[in-house]
Homo-oligomer: A and B are copies of this chain.
Amino acid sequence: MIYEAEIVTQRKVATGCYRLEIYVPEIARQAQPGQFVMIKTSVTLDPLLRRPFSICTVDRELGLVKILYRVVGRGTTLMAGKKLGRRLNVFGPLGKAYTVPPNGRFTVVAGGIGIAPLYFLIQRLRALGNEVNLFYGAQNRFDLLLAEELTALRTNLYTATDNGSVGFKGTVVDLLKSKGIPPADMVYAAGPPRMLAALSSVLKEAGVTKAEFSLEQRMGCGIGACRGCAVKVRTPDGPVYKRVCTDGPVFNAEEVIWE
């Protein structure tokens, strides 16, 4: 589960956004959409902790794991500085995957870098021949990532940008509201917490109950041991904390308590 993975591609795909491909056949073979890996971004003691990243897709034949990431702090800055041929210590695959029913109609809602885990999911859904309505929002047209790849997957793609530079002007949740939520056997979503909270109440109002969201939380161990990655969820016995790393990162939208 822990590998020294060689960097095969490190490419800037938008301002502050990179696509990383690493050679790590064991993870490529096992990974399921929704799962993540934890990467050590430095060989020194600072930064210390591993960083979690969704698996954006895999190439099983070539043994590649692909990651789409945004530079937000020290760890991702260091990661972006690592060139082809360097090795990264990678731990995974970790976490629970999305439920992928064999057939049906599906709605996918992505905000920003949230497209990363959803891309892998959409690939899977489309490979099974299912219809996918993808609502994808970003700050501006340049932040809409994986444009070609998504086109190639032939989803029904609806885009939104904060500044209206392409598609709907506004948030992706507003777009969804304005279009009307298409009937779906499952709604999947990933994106910033505020978007997910908004989406959650929109879905609730619309009476949609089958929805899976990818959550993020600061992590220690990544394997359920430290209880660092708590998220509050509803249960019949009242609210409890669950672990994003092993109870998630994919959760039923309904159970999450947004605070």
Q: Which residues of A contact B (CB under 8 A)?
A: 42, 44-47, 74, 78
- The interface residues of chain B lying within 8 Å CB-to-CB of A78 are 44
Tell me the complex Cα distance, A42–B46, Å.
10
- The interface residues of chain B lying within 8 Å CB-to-CB of A47 are 44
CB closest residue in chain B, given A78 = B44
* 5 A-B pairs with least C-beta separation: A46-B46, A45-B46, A44-B46, A44-B44, A42-B44
With A42-B44, A46-B46 known, 6 other A-B pairs at CB within 8 A are A44-B44, A44-B46, A44-B47, A44-B74, A44-B78, A45-B46
- The interface residues of chain B lying within 8 Å CB-to-CB of A74 are 44
- The interface residues of chain B lying within 8 Å CB-to-CB of A44 are 42, 44, 46-47, 74, 78
Query: What does DSSP make chain A's interface, helix, strand, loop or mixed?
Result: loop
Stoichiometry (number of copies): 2
A47, chain B: closest CB distance, angstroms: 7
Tell me the complex Cα distance, A44–B74, Å.
9
Tell me the complex Cα distance, A47–B43, Å.
11
CB closest residue in chain B, given A47 = B44
A74, chain B: closest CB distance, angstroms: 8
A82, chain B: closest CB distance, angstroms: 12
Tell me the complex Cα distance, A46–B74, Å.
13
Q: List 8 A-B contacts (CB under 8 A).
A: A42-B44, A44-B44, A44-B46, A44-B47, A44-B74, A44-B78, A45-B46, A46-B46
Tell me the complex Cα distance, A74–B44, Å.
9
- The interface residues of chain B lying within 8 Å CB-to-CB of A42 are 44
- The interface residues of chain B lying within 8 Å CB-to-CB of A45 are 46
Tell me the complex Cα distance, A42–B47, Å.
12
A7, chain B: closest CB distance, angstroms: 16
A86, chain B: closest CB distance, angstroms: 11
A212, chain B: closest CB distance, angstroms: 37
Candidate in A46, A47, A78 with the most chain B CB atoms within 10 angstroms: A46
CB closest residue in chain B, given A77 = B43
Tell me the complex Cα distance, A45–B44, Å.
9
CB closest residue in chain B, given A43 = B78
CB closest residue in chain B, given A74 = B44
A106, chain B: closest CB distance, angstroms: 43
CB closest residue in chain B, given A41 = B44
A40, chain B: closest CB distance, angstroms: 13
CB closest residue in chain B, given A48 = B46
A89, chain B: closest CB distance, angstroms: 16
